[in-house]
Amino acid sequence: MSIDWAVVAMAIPLLAQGALTSLRIAALAGLLGLAGGVALGLIALGGFTPARLAVRAYVDFIRGTPLLIQIFIVFFGLPMLGWRPGEYLSGVIALSLNSAGYIAEIVRGAVGSIERGQTEAAQSIGLTRGKILLHVLLPQAIRPMTPALTNDLITLVKNTSLLSVISVYELTRSGQAIIASHFAPLEIFALLALYYYLIISVLAYISRLIERKLPAW
């Protein structure tokens, strides 16, 4: 058995296209997931019990079911509700919903671990729950949250590969297309692995930089 270098050379630029799509999806889903996750996390810490329980149930569902199934549910479920966003947007939505669930837990955990005296001091100057969360607790939670959020982002990038099952033309899917026409599975899967590895190495490096830049109090 020998390596088909011609296929490798041909695949590198094609896969780069797919990698860009994967990155775009991850960036979009990451931002939406972060916004949604912070919002859900704050609700989970808030005083309104029904909303808190709803978030709890949502997080349990997200963590308790495979992402692959969640992707199918969104992909086939949204059209049932009368909206056909297409596979690309469906994929972004599914990944956003998934990562929002995990980020909600990260936010809840980090904010909840801040010393009780901070809340009491804020209460003593008359702040109410929402303002305490927003102005006192959340800012202090950012640094302890960063490593967990980085992990989540890395997982998100890898999870974009699952969108290949709903025909989103991201990195994995574009590799599969090359395999189908040229039949060089090992070369292509190795290349795919290399692409993901490089992307994630860069992300991990950036997040270490950010972590070092964040103030430690």
Sites of contact with another protein (CB under 8 A):
47, 115, 117-118, 120-129, 131, 135-136, 139-140, 215, 217
**Which residue's CB is nearer to another protein, number 60 or number 120?**
120
Indicate the residue among 64 and 117 with the shorter CB distance to another protein: 117
C-alpha span between 112 and 110 (Å, rounded): 5
Cβ-based nearer residue to another protein, 95 or 132: 132
Comparing CB distances to another protein, the nearer of 49 and 181 is 49
Tell me the one-letter amino acid at 97: L
**How far is the C-alpha of 102 from the C-alpha of 33, rounded, in Å?**
9
- Nearest approach, Cβ of 133 to another protein (angstroms)? 12
In the complex, the smallest distance separating the C-beta of residue 66 from another protein, rounded to whole angstroms, is: 38
Nearest 5°: the CA angle 91, 31, 160 is: 35
Output the smallest distance, CB 129 to another protein, in A.
6
75, burial (CB in 10 Å: exposed 0-12, middle 13-18, buried 19+):
buried
Q: How far is the CB of 119 from another protein (least distance, A)?
A: 9
Contact 92, 84 (CB under 8 A): no
Shortest Cβ 116–another protein spacing (Å): 9
**Structural element, H or E, at residue 179:** helix 171-182
| Integer Cα distance of 33 and 35 in angstroms | 6
Measured from the CB atom, the residue of 59 and 132 that comes closer to another protein is 132
